Amino acid sequence: MSLIDQFKNGLARSKSGFISRLDGLFGGGEINEAFYEELEEILVSGDVGVQTSVKLVDQLKEEIRRQKIKAREEARNLLLQLITGIMKPGETSVEQDEQPFVILLVGVNGSGKTTTAAKLANLYRQERKNVLLVAGDTFRAAAIEQLEIWAARAGVELIKQQPGSDPSALFFDAINAAKARAVDLVIGDTAGRLHSRHNLMEELNKIHRVIGRIMPGAPHRVLLVLDATTGQNAVAQAKSFNQSLAIDGLVLTKLDGTARGGIVINIADELKIPVCYVGTGETMDDLAPFRPEEFARALLED
Amino acid sequence: MFSNLAEKLQSTFRQLKGKGKLSEKDVDTAMRDIRLALLEADVNFKVVKDFVTAVRERAVGQEVMSSLTPGQQVIKIVNEEMTRLMGDKQSGLAKSNKGQTTIMMVGLQGSGKTTTAVKLAGHLRREGRNPLLVAADIYRPGAVKQLQVLSESIGEKCYSNLEADPVEICREGLQISEKESFDVTIFDTAGRLHIDDEMMSEITGIKNEIKPDEVLLVVDAMTGQDAVNAAASFHEALGLSGVILTKLDGDTRGGAALSVRKVTGCPVKFVGTGEKIEALEPFYPDRMASRILGMGDVLSLIEKAEATIDQDKAKEMEKKLRKQQFTLEDFRDQIAQLRSMGSLDDILNMLPDGGYIPKEIKQMSLNEDSFKVVEAIIGSMTGNERQDPTILNSSRRRRIARGSGTTVQDVNRLLNQFNQMQKMFKQMNLADKKGSSKKMKKVKKKFPF
Ligand SMILES: Nc1nc2c(ncn2[C@@H]2O[C@H](COP(=O)(O)OP(=O)(O)OP(=O)(O)O)[C@@H](O)[C@H]2O)c(=O)[nH]1
Ligand SMILES: Nc1nc2c(ncn2[C@@H]2O[C@H](COP(=O)(O)OP(=O)(O)OP(=O)(O)O)[C@@H](O)[C@H]2O)c(=O)[nH]1
Ligand SMILES: [Mg+2]
Ligand SMILES: [Mg+2]
């Protein structure tokens, strides 16, 4: 069978190939080396990464030995527990005494920042918050128009400047305006940037500093927007962005595809950065708080 | 961790040396290194399995076992297999003989289709063609505007129609292209998931309408294991003709390139290396192979250096190096030249990890500010000190720090970096005499310092 057929028969169409394989794996039979090997493979194929997969399987082995577990079914539950133990959900409340609460969205190119900004605006607008969007990507072609359309759809205000203008200056104005207008929540979009670009990371750092100068303690939540299809490079992304401006949480986007986003386990484990929300589509309503149980099940079964 | 497979393999085999012949089990150890390195680079696990099997067969059967340098032999096989899989040679764009060439961009959301469509238009223009862009993404907010703005920025025409559906837009675009004597039409389509049946049937509809010469799948180089699923589905639905790999300007190893190539059999035709419209480059299979393997894109670096470095100066420098007369002033010139090669991040990304470049140098940040510090420190030295930094005792260092408005630590760090660089040259010279690898010789010749 050619490789392409394998994929067609397997995972390509839906996640069902994955499920049946796992049913086979956890359905019955004894717990042996082959079982562990296949388990490791499933984790690796979900982008968990070799090191973290091996670590998880080793921990599982240890627990199975300690608890004298014999059935694969029970082993699955143990693994689910292990993963959910690492994946504590990030904070999503935007309540605080002093207004406004400021969220800043950052990430590499095309990960879904602008769409997530719209989704968040929509979410908190529905909670009757007075939301202000900031079109902080002054660089990419039509990025401002993109967020402008979203802002209109979500029914929230938008602060913008000319394309090419200094984003720090824009945020300076935006936070001041938010204070004056009794805004509850400011959501700032930023231009996509690869974490390896020193000067672009500096720019982000400057935006952060400017916001903090006008409102000490702000931004209150910096979210790294991560595409679920990303492989091992996501760890480098999280490290660099975290170094530049202390990331509070992740938004894992595009989970409606066939990728399972397993790399966030590594990020949560190593960098202690939790996932706050997941993106599951291209409309404003396709955003949900992160639920570790669901995530782990999707990674391992359905 | 597995940043340099070449080194890892060398060391594995070094441990095994002196055991006479290598056993199959020894080879297994090496194969495990290879497997890990490829998985770390995001090559799909099934593809990895096939690859390792192929390498193993060649490694076990052949003269490798009895060779004096089995490590190098295996590295060679790995590299060859990888390059072979990536496609032995470069492949260009199809050129239709009916006068009109049609190119369709497809892919997942955010992979870089719109940007790459305009990059291609720019590339074709430089080749003397007359391209028209067609905006067929009616879904993503601002998508049409994005294509318009980007097209305009390089003076290319873009057709759009906010009232029509994507199939109509493409049909109209093609008609206009033919009527107004454009000779290439590039269709930018909306991002879509390969499991979205409705959107997949829409794109099949577009394809049937325009019967493109090229259907190019645009793939984000940072994609993980899932790359194969999307690629296989797009290929099955549309019959792809090629792949473009974007965002290679980052530090991803880009194993998705191998996965996608393996499941579709389609060549990678171009790579995107930046957000700017000029940042489109031909695809070199051998370079991609060594990047995935973590052996550094030495060749790209050489070319880049070649393009920017003053050749006479480079020759002069080489002479100095041979005589080991590399002074602090030369050091400063070299850093200035490095800066003119573009972002240092870019350059360092292409260097082989570990290996030849000492970490003191790799960690040197060469942004504008730190270069000013280097200038200031060297500027505060006397002529004698610059020629012979060994005379820099602590009181001289303190004086220099004061004079340059820096700290003694800054001065020490710079001297340390200078020493490392000198040491590196000595090693290069030595290696050269011993007849080291051809690649390294080339680097040495072309590298600015
Ligand atoms: N299927 C799916 N698509 C998404 C999701 N989130 C975003 N997208 C799509 O991904 C593409 C890129 O999204 P953007 O919001 O523009 O991404 P960005 O990070 O702002 O991009 P840049 O500003 O160019 O760096 C768009 O086509 C979005 O519709 C999601 O959760 N699921
Ligand atoms: N660094 C870098 N960024 C790139 C490259 N190619 C595209 N981008 C950026 O990636 C982001 C997404 O690019 P788009 O061209 O909008 O992607 P798309 O596939 O058209 O997105 P959708 O239409 O939403 O599916 C933008 O921020 C681009 O500037 C590249 O080679 N390198
Ligand atoms: Mg954006
Ligand atoms: Mg697009």
Q: Name the more confident of B65 and A10.
A: B65
3-state SS track over chain A: CCHHHHHHHHHHCCCHHHHHHHHHHHHCCCCCHHHHHHHHHHHHHCCCCHHHHHHHHHHHHHHHHHCCCCCHHHHHHHHHHHHHHHCCCCCCCCCCCCCCEEEEEECCCCCCHHHHHHHHHHHHHHCCCCEEEECCCCCCCCHHHHHHHHHHHHCCEEECCCCCCCHHHHHHHHHHHHHHCCCCEEEECCCCCCCCCHHHHHHHHHHHHHHHHHCCCCCCEEEEEEECCECCHHHHHHHHHHHHHCCCEEEEECCCCCCCCCHHHHHHHHHCCCEEEEECCCCCCCEEECCHHHHHHHHHCC
Q: Taking residues B5-32, what's their average pLDDT?
A: 69
Segment B64-118, tens digit of pLDDT: 555 556 666 777 788 888 888 888 778 888 877 678 999 999 999 999 999 999 9
Q: Which ligand 2 atom is nearest residue B188's CA? A: 20
> What tokens appear for B412 in the block?
């020490």
* Nearest residue by C-alpha to atom 1 in ligand 2: B274
Residue B42 to residue B227: CA distance in whole angstroms: 9
B259 lies in the same domain as B329: no
Any idea what the CATH number is for the domain that residue B130 is in?
3.40.50.300
Domain final residue pick, B275, B295, B315 = B295
ipTM of the complex: 0.92
Q: Give the model's confidence band at A11: pLDDT under 50 very low, under 70 low, under 90 confident, else very high.
A: very low
| Contacts with B, A 222-261, CB within 8 Å | 227, 229-234, 236, 254, 256-260
A109 lines ligand 1 (CB under 6 A): yes
- What is the residue whose two structure tokens read 């193993």? B56
Any bridge partners for residue A255, and if so which?
none
Percent of all residues in chain B with a pLDDT value above 90, rounded to a whole number: 47
Give the least confident one: A214-218, A220-224, B28-32, B371-375: B371-375
Q: Give the model's confidence band at B386: pLDDT under 50 very low, under 70 low, under 90 confident, else very high.
A: confident
Q: Taking residues B343-359, what's their average pLDDT?
A: 47
Give the least confident one: A11-25, A179-193, B287-301: A11-25
Residue B371: its pLDDT value, please? Answer: 73
Residue B355: its pLDDT value, please? Answer: 38
Q: Does B192 touch chain A if contact means CB atoms closer than 8 Å?
A: no
Any idea what the CATH number is for the domain that residue B63 is in?
1.20.120.140
Residue A137: its pLDDT value, please? Answer: 98
Instruction: Provide the mean pLDDT of chain B.
Output: 81
Q: Give the model's confidence band at A17: pLDDT under 50 very low, under 70 low, under 90 confident, else very high.
A: very low
Q: Which amino acid is at B177?
A: S
Close Cβ partners of A238 (under 8 Å, ≥ 6 residues apart): A224, A226, A247, A250, A267, A271, A273
What domains can be seen in chain A, in order of their start residue?
Answer: 3-86 (1.20.120.140), 101-292 (3.40.50.300)
Q: A296: closest CA among A265, A274, A269, A256?
A: A265
Segment A73-94, tens digit of pLDDT: 889 899 999 999 999 999 999 9
Q: A139: closest CA among A176, A168, A115?
A: A168
B208 lies in the same domain as B242: yes
Q: Taking residues A175-203, what's their average pLDDT?
A: 96
* Cβ–Cβ < 8 Å for B218, B111: yes
Q: Give the model's confidence band at B327: pLDDT under 50 very low, under 70 low, under 90 confident, else very high.
A: confident
- Print the domain residue range for B138: 101-295
* Cβ–Cβ < 8 Å for B296, B290: yes
Is the model's pLDDT at B354 over the cut of 50? no
Residue B260: its pLDDT value, please? Answer: 96
B267 lies in the same domain as B332: no
Q: Provide the number of structural domains found in chain B.
A: 3
Residue A277 to residue A287: CA distance in whole angstroms: 7
- A41, A109, A153: residue with CB nearest B275: A109
Segment B111-166, tens digit of pLDDT: 999 999 999 999 999 999 999 999 999 999 999 999 999 999 999 999 999 999 99
Q: Which residues of A touch B195 (CB under 8 A)?
A: 13-14, 257-258
Q: Which amino acid is at A15?
A: K
CA diameter of chain A: 66
Domain final residue pick, B295, B312, B337 = B295
Q: How far out from the chain centre does Cα B242 lie?
A: 18
3-state SS track over chain B: CCCCHHHHHHHHHHHHCCCCCCCHHHHHHHHHHHHHHHHHCCCCHHHHHHHHHHHHHHHHHCHHHHCCCHHHHHHHHHHHHHHHHHCCCCCCCCCCCCCCEEEEEECCCCCCHHHHHHHHHHHHHHCCCCEEEEEECCCCCCHHHHHHHHHHHCCCEEECCCCCCHHHHHHHHHHHHHHCCCCEEEEEECCCCCCCHHHHHHHHHHHHHHCCCEEEEEEECCECCCHHHHHHHHHHHHCCCEEEEECCCCCCCCCHHHHHHHHHCCCEEEEECCCCCCCEEECCHHHHHHHHCCCCCHHHHHHHHHHHCCHHHHHHHHHHHHHCCCCHHHHHHHHHHHHHCCCHHHHHHHCCCCCCCCHHHHCCCCCHHHHHHHHHHHHCCCHHHHHCHHHCCHHHHHHHHHHHCCCHHHHHHHHHHHHHHHHHHHHHHHHHHCCCCHHHHHHHHHCCC
Q: Give the model's confidence band at B242: pLDDT under 50 very low, under 70 low, under 90 confident, else very high.
A: very high
* Cβ–Cβ < 8 Å for A59, A82: yes
* Cβ–Cβ < 8 Å for B47, B262: yes
Domain final residue pick, B57, B86, B115 = B86
Is the model's pLDDT at A186 over the cut of 50? yes
The structure's pTM equals 0.81
Q: Per the domain annotation, does B92 fall within a domain? A: no
Any idea what the CATH number is for the domain that residue B425 is in?
1.10.260.30
Segment B403-448, tens digit of pLDDT: 888 999 989 988 888 887 777 666 655 544 444 444 444 444 434 3
Residue B71 to residue A47: CA distance in whole angstroms: 30
Q: Contact A229/B345, CB-based, under 8 Å?
A: no
Q: Per the domain annotation, does B241 fall within a domain? A: yes
Residue B117 to residue B135: CA distance in whole angstroms: 10
Residue B375: its pLDDT value, please? Answer: 82
Instruction: Please tell me the distance between residue B350's alpha carbon and the centre of ligand 3 in angstroms.
Output: 28
Q: Name the more confident of B27 and B34.
A: B34
Q: Taking residues B365-393, what's their average pLDDT?
A: 81
Which of A109, A137, A150 has the most ligand 2 atoms within 8 A of CB, as the residue to mutate? Answer: A109
- β-pairing, A275-279 with A221-227? unpaired
Q: A107: closest CA among A221, A201, A210, A208?
A: A201
Segment A108-162, tens digit of pLDDT: 999 999 999 999 999 999 999 999 999 999 999 999 999 999 999 999 999 999 9
Q: Which residues of B touch A198 (CB under 8 A)?
A: 343-345, 365, 367
B121 lies in the same domain as B267: yes
B26 lies in the same domain as B145: no
Is the model's pLDDT at A248 over the cut of 80? yes
| Contacts with B, A 271-290, CB within 8 Å | 282
Give A99 to chain B, closest Cα distance, Å: 30
Residue B421: its pLDDT value, please? Answer: 73
Q: Per the domain annotation, does B25 fall within a domain? A: yes
Residue A54 to residue A7: CA distance in whole angstroms: 24
B240 lies in the same domain as B182: yes
Residue B416: its pLDDT value, please? Answer: 85
Q: Which residues of B touch A147 (CB under 8 A)?
A: 141
Close Cβ partners of B124 (under 8 Å, ≥ 6 residues apart): B93, B131, B184
Give A13 to chain B, closest Cα distance, Å: 6
Instruction: Please tell me the distance between residue A134's alpha carbon and the centre of ligand 3 in angstroms.
Output: 11
Is the model's pLDDT at A2 over the cut of 90? no
Q: Per the domain annotation, does B93 fall within a domain? A: no
* Cβ–Cβ < 8 Å for A3, B262: yes
Percent of all residues in chain A with a pLDDT value above 90, rounded to a whole number: 85
Q: Give the model's confidence band at A7: pLDDT under 50 very low, under 70 low, under 90 confident, else very high.
A: very low
B259 lies in the same domain as B358: no
B157 lies in the same domain as B257: yes
Residue B330: its pLDDT value, please? Answer: 75
* Cβ–Cβ < 8 Å for A60, A34: no
B65 lies in the same domain as B29: yes
> What tokens appear for B429 in the block?
């010279």
Q: Per the domain annotation, does B42 fall within a domain? A: yes
> What tokens appear for B353 in the block?
């990890």
Q: Chain A residue with minimal CA distance to B144?
A: A142
Q: Which amino acid is at A163?
A: P
Whats the size of chain B, residue-wise? 449
Give A143 to chain B, closest Cα distance, Å: 7
B218 lies in the same domain as B253: yes
Is the model's pLDDT at A295 over the cut of 70? yes
Q: Per the domain annotation, does B95 fall within a domain? A: no
> What tokens appear for A233 in the block?
């490079």
B283 lies in the same domain as B378: no
Close Cβ partners of A93 (under 8 Å, ≥ 6 residues apart): none
Any bridge partners for residue A252, and if so which?
A226, A278
Give the least confident one: A88-92, A103-107, B152-156, B292-296: B292-296
Segment B50-73, tens digit of pLDDT: 999 998 888 776 555 555 566 667
* Cβ–Cβ < 8 Å for B292, B426: no
Give the least confident one: B7-16, B199-208, B340-349: B340-349
Q: Give the model's confidence band at B321: pLDDT under 50 very low, under 70 low, under 90 confident, else very high.
A: low
* Nearest residue by C-alpha to atom 27 in ligand 2: A109
Task: Spell out which residues line ligand 2, taking CB within 6 angstroms.
Answer: A 109-110, 140, 192, 194; B 107, 109-115, 137, 140, 143, 190-191, 218, 246-247, 249, 272-275, 279
Q: Name the more confident of B33 and B5.
A: B33
Q: Contact A3/B263, CB-based, under 8 Å?
A: yes
Q: What angle do CA A280, A109, A236 make, to 5 degrees?
A: 90
Upstream peptide bond of B448 is cis (omega within 30 degrees of 0): no
Residue B99: its pLDDT value, please? Answer: 81
Segment A27-37, tens digit of pLDDT: 777 889 999 99
Residue B334 has φ and ψ, to the nearest 5°, of -65, -40
- A6, A45, A142: residue with CB nearest B146: A142
B316 lies in the same domain as B284: no
- Name the closest ligand to CA B251: 2
Is the model's pLDDT at B311 over the cut of 70? no
Interface-testing mutation among B40, B118, B219, B252, with chain A (most A C-beta atoms within 10 A): B252
A285 lines ligand 1 (CB under 6 A): no
Residue A142 has φ and ψ, to the nearest 5°, of 60, 20
Q: Name the more confident of B383 and B49.
A: B49
Is the model's pLDDT at B300 over the cut of 70? no
Q: Per the domain annotation, does B96 fall within a domain? A: no
Which of B115, B148, B218, B252 has the most ligand 2 atoms within 8 A of CB, as the residue to mutate? Answer: B115
Is the model's pLDDT at A16 over the cut of 90? no
Is the model's pLDDT at B33 over the cut of 60? yes
